[in-house]
Structure 1
Amino acid sequence: MTRPIIGITMGDPAGNGPEITVKALARADLYDRCRPIVVGDAKMLEQARGFVGRPDIRIHRCEKVSDALFTPGTIDVFHLELIADVDKFELGKVSLEGGNAAFQCVRKVIQLAMDGEVDATCTNALNKEAMNKALEAAGGANSDGYTHFDGHTEIYATYTHTKKYTMMLAHHDLRVVHVSTHCSLREACDRVKKDRVLEVIEIAHQACKDMGIETPRVAVAGLNPHCGENGLFGTEEIQEITPAIQAAKAEGINAIGPIPPDSVFSEALGGWYDIVVCMYHDQGHIPLKTVGFVYDREKQAWKAVEGVNVTLGLPIIRTSVDHGTGFALAGKGTSNELSLVNAIDYGIRMANGRKN
């Protein structure tokens, strides 16, 4: 099978994205599974190479994907001239230059995927404040008139012209998708409607199929404690969630539930389900980050910061790290690259699944 080409954004250059990218792509075995190319400013990757102590890694500037070498020990960078002076660019701080750079990398990698030049995209973290300040300052001149985006997901939806999409978080075989994400909890409850729940069940089912799971088991979490106790603690399960599950079953989807939120994730970790449909942001994020983010008490340091963010429903593949920009860690060379490695692996898996 031909190794898929994975386009990787460098993230906000003021954060640790460039550093974890160098660390991840220093792994020679990754090149056995894919052909990675970074989209960003090559000067920032050269600087990051010094931070992580890998002077042996070559940074290869490319003007187009076909220029890439895809060779272990060399990091191909689709170079965008984004940072005027690397020596004067301040790490760990919100800036217009950094916010614009992060946005331009995302916009370019989407274009490459839509044009079929890369098989999947993988994003490092951007800073929403920096990006939106840059968009506002430019008056939308650098973004087809857009002056605000909530985050990566909305950028991808806009530039791929996608109306139906959702976020999936994954830690190995624990996967969750969301009916709603970035809104207040009060609004999230109002968004639990049959049509949207059914839509997310369908997207979750297809995502599992894309990953090679032939007969996905889709668990659907309830919204209320104990799934409402037959209306005692709320009626969303009766009026919206159960009808959506029944409609999904009528389509041939193995949708199971509603299942009480306080037990569904333990069951999923035990292998009962392939994916869990969650009703709101924190219902899915908390269990994923509890298992993926591990802090070592004795060493007073993070032992693992793992997790993958995947946008489902798009015509292209997008995976991402499940952590922030790491401004406090920028320039220290100590950031953990496992989340990016896992995100790249998910991109490979999904790209291969679509080819099949």
Structure 2
Amino acid sequence: MISQAVRIALPLGDPNGIGPEIALKTAAAYAGRPDVFLTLFGPQVVLQQTAQCLGLTDLLAATPVVFTAAMPTGTFQPGRVCAEAGSAMISAASSAITATRRGDFDAVVAGPHHETAVHLAGIPFSGYPSLVASVCGQPEDSVFLLLVGGGLHIVHATLHESVQHALDRLTSELVVQAALAGMRAMQRLGMNAPTIGLFGINPHAGENGLFGDADERITKPAAERLRAVGLQVDGPIGADTLLAERRHDLYVAMLHDQGHIPIKLLSPKQASALSIGADVILSSVGHGSAMDIAGQCIADARAMINTVARLAAVPVPT
């Protein structure tokens, strides 16, 4: 019998996207459960109007809520990308992260953001990992994304940036830190000694320099350093070969698409995206804010429902 509920802070994500809808649907899925305690973070008008659309006003009244910065009148418009929505997303997520650092919650599960909206607000942002790092007072490149879904766990050394920029800043140290953060996260998820598959940067991990020297300079030294501290590491090996074998617990991707494509192929709209490497665990969902269907109350909340279950280590609601 579970003696204490896992406390989850649940900021809405972009209020003009599907985040408010899937957050309320997730709260409904866990309502009355003794093992999970959810608290919503977001603007009051957004939650109230979304609850009315979904017929969940009674649920909202019974659910703990932290109302965050209000959106200016007329800017809550589902489907619209705007600075006010980006600012509201940052406010809610930052409040949830801060409360979790304070010990009020065990983890954060955040709704999907819209990066353009945040940039319109003039806020530096390259995804939830960078926000977690900022709120926790850490360097941006000390927090990484671990994508989970389809039976795969893939941590990313680089994330939302051009391929050229990612290649310019990839170092052995960055790869090592991503792998170590991924290993610690796997341990927190219950796997004490995960096996690690390290993706190469170039096809065939460079074919011993035939396809460029990036792997000779970066991934091979990183693998040697990781093995030297006792980790079970294979690679660098081409991502296609490693994934075809499916024999590792954790994979380390060098670039965004290396890690995102296989998981989204195997687990469409149901993956979890964990920000790891800080003293706060935050997970979002492996899909976007779906502006094309926002406000229609038809969004599928399974990714967020599954994400809560993964972080809380509890059964998924039926």
Same fold (TM over 0.5): yes
Alignment-mate amino acid for residue 272 of structure 2: V
Structure 2 residue runs without a partner (length 5+): none
SS of the residue corresponding to residue 230 of structure 1 reads coil
1:78 equivalenced with 2:54 (yes/no)? no
Q: Report Cα offsets for 1:231-278 as digits up to 9, x if no partner.
A: 21122223321221111111111111112211222323xxx1111001
Aligned residues: 310
SS of the residue corresponding to residue 284 of structure 1 reads helix
Q: Percent identity?
A: 27
Q: How does 1:250-329 map to 2 (within 5 A)?
A: 250-268=228-246, 272-293=247-268, 305-329=269-293
| Over 4 Å off, 4+ runs | none
Identify the residue that residue 101 of structure 1 maps to in structure 2: 88
CA contact (8 A) 2:12 2:20 kept: yes
Residue 81 of structure 1: CA displacement?
Answer: 4.9
Q: How does 1:42-61 map to 2 (within 5 A)?
A: 42-54=44-56, 57-60=58-61
> What TM-score comes out, normalization by structure 1 length?
0.81
SS of the residue corresponding to residue 196 of structure 1 reads helix
Q: Report Cα offsets for 1:174-227 as digits up to 9, x if no partner.
A: 111111112221232233322111111211111111111021111101111112
CA contact (8 A) 1:179 1:191 kept: no
SS of the residue corresponding to residue 31 of structure 1 reads coil
Identify the residue that residue 114 of structure 1 maps to in structure 2: 101
Residue 121 of structure 1: CA displacement?
Answer: 0.7
Identify the residue that residue 6 of structure 1 maps to in structure 2: 8
CA contact (8 A) 1:308 1:339 kept: yes
Residue 347 of structure 1: CA displacement?
Answer: 2.4
SS of the residue corresponding to residue 283 of structure 1 reads helix
Structure 1 residue runs without a partner (length 5+): 61-73, 137-146, 294-304, 351-356
SS of the residue corresponding to residue 5 of structure 1 reads strand
SS of the residue corresponding to residue 64 of structure 2 reads strand
Residue 159 (structure 2) aligned to one of 174, 181, 193: 181
CA contact (8 A) 1:122 1:318 kept: yes
> What TM-score comes out, normalization by structure 2 length?
0.91
Residue 110 of structure 1: CA displacement?
Answer: 1.3
RMSD (CA atoms): 2.0
SS of the residue corresponding to residue 27 of structure 1 reads helix
Q: How does 1:1-356 map to 2 (within 5 A)?
A: 1-28=3-30, 31-54=33-56, 57-60=58-61, 74-85=62-73, 89-134=76-121, 136=122, 147-163=123-139, 164-268=142-246, 272-293=247-268, 305-349=269-313
SS of the residue corresponding to residue 59 of structure 1 reads helix
Q: Distance in 2 between matches of 1:90 and 1:215?
A: 47
